[in-house]
Amino acid sequence: MAMDDHDRDDTPHTGLSLTLSYDGRSDLSIGSRPHSSSGLELQRSSSTAKALEPSLTLALPGDVCASVEVEMGRDIGSRHSPPPPPTQSHQPCKIKREDDVRSEEVEKVSSRISDEEEDSGARKKLRLTKEQSSLLEDKFKEHSSLNPKQKQALAKQLNLRPRQVEVWFQNRRARTKLKKTEVELEFLRRCCETLTEEKRRLQKELQDLEKSHKLSATRHMQIPAMCPSCKKVIGGAETGSPLPASRPRFFNPFAHHAA
């Protein structure tokens, strides 16, 4: 009953490859692989005991391995106009697509819809059989979209209406895209984490460098400058120099010899 989907995807990121597989009845989550330091595993947390073991392996360039969970979000933002009032949609009086009309006979032959259901007028939701799903999956692996000829042939093979095949492919593409987006989101989230950590590290390093630089400058102030040629101590507290203590005293050969 549950549909088994298997995706193979290459993300646009360099050095990033992933294998996706999921059970159609479960939730999608992205998390770190517990036994890998460089991999990211995306899993659909199974909601059924019978669900297949899904997995996604994602090789990341970095060594980040934080555990993150992402909910299967549906609100990706509305590109079109606001949703129509609920009363308007899904009325029985629908304009049939050409496909539907053409393959009305095929539908009748299909053993999955009884005459009673047809007569009732209510939309009876079709659930594809395992065989139908797996064949559709196979075809999807070959081509993510179909030309009319392929559609017709596949519909005939599956004993479905071409429109149903078309819809299945549409929804399948949508699911693939959604998953890809989620994986990319997770990748970017991890990149962000890595960069934030790197920034923090560099800031600390800079702070330490500034501290040690200040310290060494202070030490220099306390060591009296000495002329390398005449070995005379120039300035410094012990010479009774009039220089203010706060000013750093460095040996200036020009100033000394010119005097």
* Binding site residues, DNA, CB under 7 A: 1-3, 5, 23-28, 44, 47-49, 72, 74-84, 86, 88-91, 94-95, 98, 122-128, 133, 145-146, 148, 163-164, 166-168, 170-175, 177
With beta carbons less than 8 A apart as the criterion, state whether 10 and 32 touch. Answer: no
Closest approach of Cβ 108 to DNA, in Å?
14
Closest approach of Cβ 62 to DNA, in Å?
28
Give Cα separations from 182 to 51, 69, 79, 120, 225 (angstroms). Answer: 21, 11, 18, 41, 65
| CB closer to DNA, 82 vs 242 | 82
The region that residue 90 occupies, defined by phi over 0 for left and psi between -120 and 50 for alpha, beta otherwise, is left
Q: Is 106 exposed, middle or buried (0-12, 13-18, 19+ CB in 10 A)?
A: middle
The total of other beta-carbon atoms located within 10 Å of residue 90's CB is 8
| CB closer to DNA, 26 vs 32 | 26
Closest approach of Cβ 152 to DNA, in Å?
10
Closest approach of Cβ 55 to DNA, in Å?
15
| CB closer to DNA, 149 vs 219 | 149
Strand 39-45, strand 233-234: pairing: unpaired
| CB closer to DNA, 155 vs 234 | 155
The total of other beta-carbon atoms located within 10 Å of residue 141's CB is 11
| CB closer to DNA, 95 vs 223 | 95
Closest approach of Cβ 72 to DNA, in Å?
5
Give Cα separations from 55 to 18, 73, 163 (angstroms). Answer: 10, 19, 31
